[in-house]
């Protein structure tokens, strides 16, 4: 690769949640909704596309705006918000973008001759009599479309949402929210060939106990098996189900990833997760024999500035996936170098002395006012802005995984804020294997301090725990070799 790959894998100023990765030609394209830094609600931006060569997942390119909110005739004023999309290559060789406007209760379709070109509005998903899906009494609520153009030429559309939606938001009453549904589409890509049918009930017979369907439908095909990815009622995890057919008989596969590593190693305590929790949405990517799960994390103490992350998956001999651990090096193909400078924003673990919390519900900022969080300087889309960890108070921990250690003997941190204390640097999440202790005493501006660093040769995480008064902002750290000559 041209350079190392980190999580989040896009630039610090970009906020793309709900990322669906697809390979078209020799590039990986990620289609997601578009948050802004400091936004008051989800998905305020138009759709943009990012892509990278299939052989270099460190080299991401912004391909520009592919679809604007006001291109849909039902949103000419641009008031409604573009929620999570999906894309497929149709039987005619063109590319079809499926989307839903927030809680309007409709799914739209746009089309383009290339994966990341300017998509043009095609229509809304409709019944053969041209009634729009979502406008009949008793329809399942259209939301979070996932689409599969199967090898046999059949087109499958997936949708669903857990929570009943008020009439105030949809304009319609008595739409159903029974779980995840599936329908086949005609070759025109907009007309329903079959009635939407419940596939993943959120409760009762056929649901997946403790991992029931919530939202975020995503579908992939692996040889003769269909892999359905979704967000469970826990909201912070992506799960998957498996079947030999696209429209039924799915069995629960397990958790693919949780933002806070919950369910990994038996931990189910949301107050002591490995990171702060919120909703997540994503999909699977296959490159050769390698599989990855794409998801997103929260920043800025709310769920409206989310960023794209990914992890490599490990498969068991029977073809099932193990739950991935959240890391700082998801697409890197291995640990990060034990020498170099790293932005604190790539921390994959973050908690306070009191544990963690959820970035949803009301009063989050007040409830978590003593907790650390990811944020940035400047306004949205300022490409020279500085993203960092803010408000590290006594006992707060930031964790980075993983590094190839053994060469560096010096560590340096850049901090700001109004605190006085020190960072302990550990080689384990339990904060027992001490590798360095660095004094920090910023007084408003940025301050750089360093200390000796000791670590055996191997692959280790780095956990920074702040001990002291006030609060500090953590901007970056560096690992280096201090020789006798440089010391002199």
Active site residues: 18, 215
How far is the C-alpha of 65 from the C-alpha of 134, rounded, in Å? Answer: 28
What number of other Cβ atoms are within 10 A of residue 24's Cβ?
16
Pairing of strands 349-351, 336-337: unpaired
Taking the C-alpha atoms of residue 394 and residue 372, their distance in angstroms, rounded to an integer, is: 10
Q: How far apart are alpha carbons 292 and 407 in whole angstroms?
A: 30
d(CA 325, CA 334) in angstroms, rounded, equals: 13
- Helix (H) / strand (E) containing 452: strand 443-452
> If we measure between CA atoms, which residue out of 412, 303, 413 comes closest to residue 359?
303
Rounded to whole angstroms, the Cα distance separating 74 from 120 reads: 14
Residue 53: exposure state from Cβ atoms within 10 A (0-12, 13-18, ≥19) = middle
- Please tell me the distance from the alpha carbon of residue 54 to that of residue 28, in angstroms, as a whole number: 6
Give the separation between CA 239 and CA 230, rounded to whole angstroms. Answer: 6
């Amino acid at each position: 690769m041209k350079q190392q790959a980190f999580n989040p894998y896009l630039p610090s100023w970009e906020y793309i949640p709900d990322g669906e990765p697809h390979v078209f030609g020799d590039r990986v394209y990620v289609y997601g909704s578009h948050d802004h830094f400091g936004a008051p609600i989800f998905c305020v931006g138009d759709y943009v596309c990012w892509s990278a060569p299939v052989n270099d997942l460190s080299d991401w390119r912004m391909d520009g705006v592919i679809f604007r909110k006001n291109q849909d005739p039902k949103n000419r004023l641009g008031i409604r918000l573009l929620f999570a999309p999906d894309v497929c290559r149709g039987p005619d060789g063109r590319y079809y973008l499926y989307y839903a406007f927030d809680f309007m209760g409709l799914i739209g379709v746009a089309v383009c001759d290339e994966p990341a070109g300017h998509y043009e509005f095609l229509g809304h998903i409709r019944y053969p009599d041209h009634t729009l899906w979502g406008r009949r009494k008793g329809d399942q609520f259209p939301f979070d479309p996932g689409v599969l153009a199967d090898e046999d030429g059949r087109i499958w559309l997936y949708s669903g949402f857990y929570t009943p939606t008020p009439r105030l938001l949809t304009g319609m009453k008595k739409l159903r929210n029974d779980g995840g549904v599936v329908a086949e589409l005609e070759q025109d890509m907009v007309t329903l060939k079959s009635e939407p049918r419940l596939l993943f009930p959120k409760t009762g017979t056929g649901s997946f106990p403790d991992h029931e369907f919530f939202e975020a439908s995503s579908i992939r095909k692996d040889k003769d098996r269909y892999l359905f990815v979704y967000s469970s009622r826990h909201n912070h995890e992506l799960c998957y189900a498996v079947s030999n057919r696209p429209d039924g008989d799915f069995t629960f596969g397990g958790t693919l990833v949780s933002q806070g590593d919950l369910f990994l190693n038996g931990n189910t305590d949301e107050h002591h997760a490995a990171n702060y929790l919120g909703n997540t949405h994503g999909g699977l990517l296959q490159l050769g024999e390698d599989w990855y799960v794409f998801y997103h994390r929260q920043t800025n103490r709310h769920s409206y500035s989310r960023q794209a992350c990914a992890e490599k998956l490990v498969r068991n001999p029977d073809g099932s996936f193990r739950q991935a651990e959240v890391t700082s090096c998801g697409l890197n193909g291995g640990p990060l170098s034990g020498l170099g400078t790293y932005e604190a924003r790539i921390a994959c673990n973050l908690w306070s002395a009191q544990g963690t919390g959820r970035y949803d519900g009301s009063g989050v900022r007040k409830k978590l006012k003593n907790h650390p969080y990811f944020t940035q300087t400047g306004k949205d889309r300022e490409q020279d802005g500085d993203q960092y960890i803010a408000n590290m108070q006594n006992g707060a921990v930031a964790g980075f995984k993983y590094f190839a250690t053994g060469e560096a003997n010096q560590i340096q941190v850049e901090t700001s804020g109004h605190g006085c204390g020190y960072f302990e640097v550990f080689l384990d999440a339990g904060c027992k294997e001490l590798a360095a202790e660095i004094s920090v005493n910023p007084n408003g501006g940025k301050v750089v301090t360093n200390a000796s660093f000791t670590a055996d040769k191997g692959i280790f995480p780095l956990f920074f725990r702040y001990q002291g008064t006030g609060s500090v902002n953590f901007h970056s750290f560096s690992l280096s070799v201090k020789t006798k000559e440089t010391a002199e």
